Structure formats: structure tokens, C-alpha cells
């Protein structure tokens, strides 16, 4: 089972759209998709906290409220993953995409699974050769956008990854602006002044 997952990851890195289409063809039932989403959130939260233990911040950070405990981090991760899944489905559909909500969730789960594998590599590098961990984090950042762009294109049947990437960038800017406004209304502008 694990070897099959690793083989799919390698195939996905070689050809992200074909890899994503293969994952979508699995047509997992809703319970399996939600379980996978929960597992990705928990695994990611545990790896974040393991990373913080190996390389603790030097002082308080604006993210302390989120990273206060693995449970909090996992809950924030679940909300974020569900939100991103919903945005992929709704925004893609509004531009003529043919993907389903179930498919959008699989895009998020598969992307997260690959990023978790990279996160594991980063933690090993952090222990063995810390400068390599920094390089891996930069590679992971670029890979995130490259994979997300291709996964969304595969899900919705879009032919132009460049247009999909542009849509992702614009949607990200819009979400950040809306979240900043909401947070400043809820927490007050002074709470965001150090972010």
C-alpha cells in the first residue's frame, strides 16, 4: 500500500495532471475522502510541531495562537483544507470548470500528501544538514504552486495552466484581503499590526 502511494507520488511529480487524473479515477467514497482529509491535517500538524521542537522560534510569533498545540493546529488545518477545497470547486466552476466538489477535495488531499512527504524530508534534512532544509522549503513553496496549478487544471479540464496559475494568484490575494478585513474587524487593527 505504502509503495503504491509513493509510486503515485513519483508519477505525479513527473506528470502532475496525469497523476491527478489517476487519483480522481479512484473515485473514493465520501467517508474515505473525509478520513483522508482529517489524516492529512493531523499528520501536517504533528510535523509542524515536531519541526518547532527541533528548531524552536527565538521569541513570540504572530502564529503562536495557531501553533499553541497540535490539536489547535490540526483544527486550523482542517478548516483551511476544507476552505481551499470549496474555493477550488466554486471558483473553478465559475470559470467553466467541470470538476466536482469531491474531486476538489481529492486535489487538496493529494496535494497535502505530497507536501507532507516533502515536510518529512525537510525534518530529516534539519537534523542532518540544516542548510538543505532551507533549500527544501523553497523547493516545496514552488512545488506547491506548480502542483496546485496542474491539479486544478486536471480537475476542471482547463487547457491553460498559465491562466489557472493567474486565477490562483488573484484568488489568493482576494482571500488574504477578505481575511485581513474580517480579522481586523473581529480582533481590532492593533492585533494585526505585528503580522
* Close Cβ partners of 158 (under 8 Å, ≥ 6 residues apart): 92, 95, 97, 152, 164
Comparing CA positions, the residue from 139, 135, 107, 91 lying closest to residue 16 is 107
pLDDT at residue 64 in the model? 65
pLDDT at residue 2 in the model? 86
pLDDT at residue 192 in the model? 57
Per-residue pLDDT tens digits for 153-194: 999 999 999 999 999 999 999 988 888 887 777 766 665 565
Average pLDDT, integer, range 81-107: 95
Domain ranges of the chain: 2-159
Average pLDDT, integer, range 81-90: 94
pLDDT at residue 185 in the model? 74
> b/e string for 16-51 if b means 16 or more Cβ within 10 A?
bbebbeebbeeebeeeebeebbeebbbbbbebbbeb
pLDDT at residue 1 in the model? 79
Per-residue pLDDT tens digits for 16-75: 999 999 999 999 999 999 999 999 999 999 998 888 887 777 777 666 666 678 888 889
Q: CA distances (Å), 185 to each of 83, 181, 182, in order?
A: 20, 6, 5
* Cβ atoms of 37 and 82 closer than 8 Å: yes
Q: In which element (H, E) is residue 21 found?
A: helix 16-25
Amino acid at each position: 500500500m505504502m509503495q503504491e502511494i509513493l509510486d503515485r507520488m513519483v508519477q505525479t511529480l513527473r506528470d502532475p495532471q496525469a497523476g491527478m487524473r489517476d487519483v480522481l479515477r479512484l473515485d473514493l467514497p465520501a467517508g474515505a475522502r473525509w478520513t483522508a482529509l482529517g489524516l492529512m491535517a493531523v499528520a501536517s500538524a504533528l510535523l509542524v510541531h515536531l519541526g518547532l521542537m527541533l528548531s524552536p522560534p527565538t521569541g513570540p510569533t504572530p502564529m503562536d495562537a495557531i501553533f499553541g498545540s497540535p490539536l489547535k493546529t490540526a483544527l486550523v488545518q482542517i478548516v483551511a483544507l476544507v476552505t481551499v477545497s470549496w474555493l477550488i470547486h466554486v471558483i473553478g466552476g465559475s470559470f467553466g470548470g467541470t470538476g466536482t466538489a469531491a474531486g476538489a477535495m481529492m486535489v487538496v488531499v493529494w496535494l497535502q500528501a505530497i507536501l507532507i512527504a516533502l515536510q518529512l524530508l525537510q525534518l530529516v534534512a534539519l537534523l542532518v544538514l540544516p542548510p538543505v532544509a532551507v533549500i527544501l522549503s523553497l523547493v516545496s513553496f514552488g512545488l506547491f504552486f506548480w502542483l496546485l496549478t496542474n491539479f486544478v487544471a486536471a480537475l476542471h479540464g482547463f487547457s491553460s495552466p498559465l491562466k489557472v496559475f493567474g486565477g490562483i494568484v488573484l484568488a489568493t490575494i482576494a482571500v488574504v484581503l477578505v481575511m485581513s478585513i474580517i480579522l481586523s474587524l473581529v480582533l481590532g487593527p492593533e492585533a494585526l499590526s505585528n503580522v
